[in-house]
Structure formats: structure tokens, C-alpha cells
Structure 1
Amino acid sequence: MKIRKNTLLIMMILLTVTFMFANTKNVSAKVTFNKTSKSITKGKNYTIKISGVKNRSIKKVKLKYNKKIIKVKKLRKNKYRITGKKKGKTTLKATVKYLLLDYTPAVKTIKCKINVKNKAAKKKKTNNKKNNDSEENIKPEIDWGENNIDKLIAQIEQSKTYKGTLYKLNDYTVFNKGEDGGEDQYGLITSPFYSTIDWYSKKDYDKIMNEVKRIVKESKITDDMIDEEKAYRIGRYMVKHIDYDYSVYGQRIYETLFDKKTVCAGYSVTYALICRYIGIDCDFVYTTDLYVDGQNMNHAWNYIKLGDYYYVVDLTKASAWRNSYSIVTGFFYQYDSLIEEYRKNVQSNYKTNDYIKTHKVDTINHYMRCKKNGDMSQTLTDSELYNLPE
């Protein structure tokens, strides 16, 4: 029986990767800007996006436009900030090279007509030089760094006078104020890197957070619990109420919570959000370019902080045993318990010196660490975890 269960687990992980980071439709005919025409005011910004293709599938974007009329700054491969420099009209052209779902290369040229207008005349005169339209008084743009949300947030928080459009609301949300009539966006932070923020409208964000609060309540979490119990209760609730289903494509937080089925990536990003919501540092971690005998074997899991160290939580593994005692084997184990292929092919952001220095993943599991340090008040045995009331 144990061999059959192990075989089932291996098959589930292998089949997960076929659908990881995939869309439900071929996107070749739908790649476009989110706006085909846009009017902006001189000195103001507008954020334009490339839609219809995943950011990770984009290999290269070449832009062409009148540099005298607008300034364009790359925020991500699929996101650009346009600043009006001079009254006039220009067309922003982007030649997008990307991969289809079957990894076939594709190219498409997309366009957006830009009309830059002068500012409206002010009704009252002022001698305050800070209010003039000179270029040196335009609010500075943020250096986004190398897809690192920590660097971005640090720059915002350290600049007391900056009043830009991007704000940190809490430890799990950044807010992007829509400009020139654009929609406000709420980004859910599931790792220290900007590239893994999950963006939503105000309506969807509120719906997600209400569901997160409901799950915390249903998990019967109280302030007097140790972090280990809180984190286990959240994970246990997720794998018992959200099915692992390799036939689905919903791997974002919204689809995971409301479709009630997902794969490894959906488990991991959603778990990271809920843990961060209750005050526990938790990251979504994943592999890239992992192939064995031509078979895509990418996987996703979490690093969660308990005490001074981080530990591995793999809800995919826990879901395979969700109705048995072995459910506990998915929680709070050591770095070396990950198979070598996962450790070698983890996404590059998680290999940097900065990340390794600030996210030390323990070499022994959490129970053994507490036992070694002589502080058993912060841990439970596997039997105690399994027998926690639901």
C-alpha cells in the first residue's frame, strides 16, 4: 500500500509540471497592448501593458516611438511607464518575441497611438517654483531594481517626499494607483521578488481577502498558538478543501481559492499569502528549466520561517496524504529533503547571496532544531500535529 501511495505522489508531481505556468488558450492571435490609443498630459505618467501572453513567456520586446514626445521606461517585460514630454502625437510600436504553449517561437508587432496634451491653464497664479511645469520638478521615477520587491519598497519608504503611484499597504499587498483614468491595482506579495506579485482589481482583491479571513477563522487559529500550529492548520485546511487536480490550469490565488482545485503553484502562492496575512514570513518558491528525459518536471513549494530558520513546506506532498497520518510529512522539513533536481534548478532569484543570507533554510527539520536548541515549547511532534482538532 505504501509503494502504491508513493507511486501516486510521484505521478502527481510529474504531471503537475505539464500545466505549470500555462494558459488555457493559444495566445498567438491575442497579443496586444491593453490600450490601442491613449491621451496623456505633458509631465504625467501612464502605465501600459502587453496582454494576451504571460510575462515569463516573453523573450524580447523591441520598442519604437518618437523620443521627443514621450519617454518610455521598462518596468517589466510586459509593463512600461509612458511619460509625456512634449505636446504631439506618436505611435508606440512593440515587436514582441514570445513562446507559445508548445514552446514554439512567435513574433507579433502591436501598436498604441499616444496623444500628449499640454496641461490646462491654472486659474490662480503662484510664485511657488515647485508648482511650475519645468522638467526638473517632475516627480522622480523609482528604480525598480532586478525584480526585487524589497528594493522597491525600501526606496518608497526611505523617500519621505516621494508621492508616486506605488505604495506598500502591508506585508502582503502593494497598491498601484491608476493614472489618467486607469484602474487601481492591488498586488499580492508571495515572495520578495516583484516578478511573483499577483495583481488584481479592487473588487477581486476584496473578494480574495475576505476568503482568506474566512479560512483563518475556519482553521480556528488563535493568537496564543505557536507559529508552527498556525501554519500547519492553514496548510491542512487548504489541502483538505482544495483538490490537487493536474487537469486544471488555475494556478493563481483567485482560481485556487474559488475553483477549489489547483496544482503545486496554486497551493504555494496561496499558502504564502495566507501565512503572510497571519504574520508568518513565507515565500513561494519554484524551479525552472527542469527536464528529465525530455519531460518537464518543474515544481513549486514554500519556505516558511519558524524561529531563526526557514523550513520547507510542500502542500502537493501533503495533499497526496490528506486523509492519512502521512499528511504531516509535507510540513516543516529540512532543505536536503528536497530532491537534488529541485535544489539545482530553483529559480535564480532564490540563489542570490542576498536571499541565501536572509533566508537560511535549516539543515534539520523544525522539530529536531527545537530539540537541539532545548526549546520544545515552539514545536509539536508529528503525532501532536496530526491529532490537532479541526
Structure 2
Amino acid sequence: LHGADAVYIGAPRFGARSTAGNSIADLTRLIDFAHRFDARVYITLNTILRDDELRDAERLIHELYKIESDALIVQDMGITRLDIPPIALHASTQADNRTPEKVKFLEQCGFSQVVLARELSLGQINEIARSVQVPLEVFVHGALCVSYSGQCYLSEAMCGRSANRGECAQYCRLPYTLIDGKGNVIAKDKHLLSLRDLNQSDRLEELLDAGVSSFKIEGRLKDMAYVKNCTAYYRQELDKIFKRRPEYRTASTGHSSIEFTPRLEKSFNRGFTHYFLDGRTPEPIASPDTPKSLGEYVGKVKQSDKNTFTIAGLTPIHNGDGLCFANNKGEFEGVRVNRVEGNRIF
């Protein structure tokens, strides 16, 4: 309803978010609704499977085919050896899709879409697109995994919960102390593995021209307001491009009426990054001070006393707003706004 041409969503089992499964009945209702507008529903079946799970996965795939799922997003190539119906297969980013040779191989194996590794530059994406015909999908918004395109083994090593089984304990968001070989503390209690959130909203036209035809917004385990806001924002940005570039068009036939002004900075984010879209640049990609949402930047404190402080900034502050700031130790603290007089906060 907020402009997606396709939705990716977990089945009851074997999705890469073990706590974000959905019943067959719910998926059936979603698919019936989406197909009225020629929107597609892609089911995530992208965990690594154990041998004793293959038969269950096979039965589930048959169920998903019967309810007219448009495709399965898979990581485990063992699925291609099962007795499955002629359902479209998409190669998950966790299949390590980062070279023209690998993507061409997947195309020759019959995959109908490939989700590229998140670490690729615009030039690398373009090189892959020129060498294949298979449609390409890239992540454009949401949380980033510090390991290569989500192939993380830290959680499995630390507590036996495998990210490749949908059970990541998110050790990358915890604080660590970095000590050199002489015992000197380089960084104390910093979130050294925590990355900023991806935001390619200002690079969509370049990605289209590089050969990408599907943009992926992280949505699972996010709240409803996040998904609505981010989806609506990207929908509007794409529609602006389509008005100027008639060679591009939306894949669905529905029209969404957005009754609010989408703003990405209003949703949960750890600060934004283009990651490696321009290669390894000086742009910061980490969020070492906090793994939590930083919120929207509103200004700089220019004066303070016991009960008030004054902010130099253009963003209006209202009674009841929550503000956070970094103290002298680099730790984040929060305050609630009781009253506002001009730029003076009580």
C-alpha cells in the first residue's frame, strides 16, 4: 500500500530471520491482495539447510507454489536438487554474488533473479550487468552486516546461534575494547563492529543506469512505521525518475496514495552511508559510538545552564520531544523536552 512493486517475506520456516516467520494462511492473503495489482511476493527460504530438513523444505516449497508465490529467495544450492515444482528461484545475497562469473553461472543454472553482494561498487555492478541477462537486485536501504554480504560466523562461534540459520545474536552491535600488542588501549567500550545504515536514495538513477532492476529495502523485524516511511520515500524518488526517463517504468499496475511526507531521517538509523558504492572512500561507514538510532540531527548546543540549554539549528523543537547528545566520554545520554522558548530548551 506504500508503493512496493514486490515484497519479500519469510515462510513458516527456513527464512533468515527465525523469529519473522509467517503462516501459509497469511501468505495466501498477502499474495491474493498483491496479485490484484500485479505486485509480486518473494518468499525467503534462504537459510543453510541440514540434511534432515530437506524433505520438510521440499514439502513447504510445494505449498508455496500452490498459493502462487512468485519466487523463492535461496542460499542453499541443495534446493535445486530437490523434487520441486517450476517455481522461480532468486539467488540470495548470501550466495556470494560478487563476480560476473558467479552471476553468469547462476543464470545458466536457471535462476531468474540474482541479489548482488552489498559490498560492490557501481562499476562492479555495471560490469556484472553487462555480462549477463538475468535481472539484478541490490540492497538500497537498511542495516548492514559487518561480515561479507551477511555470511557471518561470529554468532555461531560465540554462542552456537548461526546467522546462516536465521538466529544471529548480533554480536557486531556489542561494545569492544581494542588493545594493541603492547597492552595499550586503543579504544575502550566502543561498538567497533557496528556499521551505519545503508542509504542509496540519492543514487537510484545511477543504479538503474548500471543495470539494476530491483531495489531492496530491509524490512523484516522492523516496525510498521519504518517500513511504510522508507517504502513510500523510495517509491516517490523512483516515480520522479520515471517521469524524466520513460525507458524505465514501474513493475506493478497499482497506484499508492501516500498521505504523509516520507522522511528517511525520521525512521530508525545509525547514521547513513553509501557503503562501497564509490569504492573505498573516506566516507565513514561505521557507527562506533552507539548501535542504536541516532535520530535526526537538530543542531549544536551553544549555551547551557542548570535547567536549560540553547540549540543553534533550524529544526523546530516541541514539548515532549526526546533529544540525545554525546557527553564528554563519548557516551550518549537523553533528555525529554519540557518546554521550548525560541531556541531555549527547558
Give me the TM-score of the superposition, normalised by structure 1. Answer: 0.26
Please say which structure displays the higher CA radius of gyration. 1
Higher strand share: 1
More helix by share: 1
Structure with the larger RCO, 1 or 2 (CA within 8 Å, 6+ apart): 2
TM value normalised by structure 2: 0.28
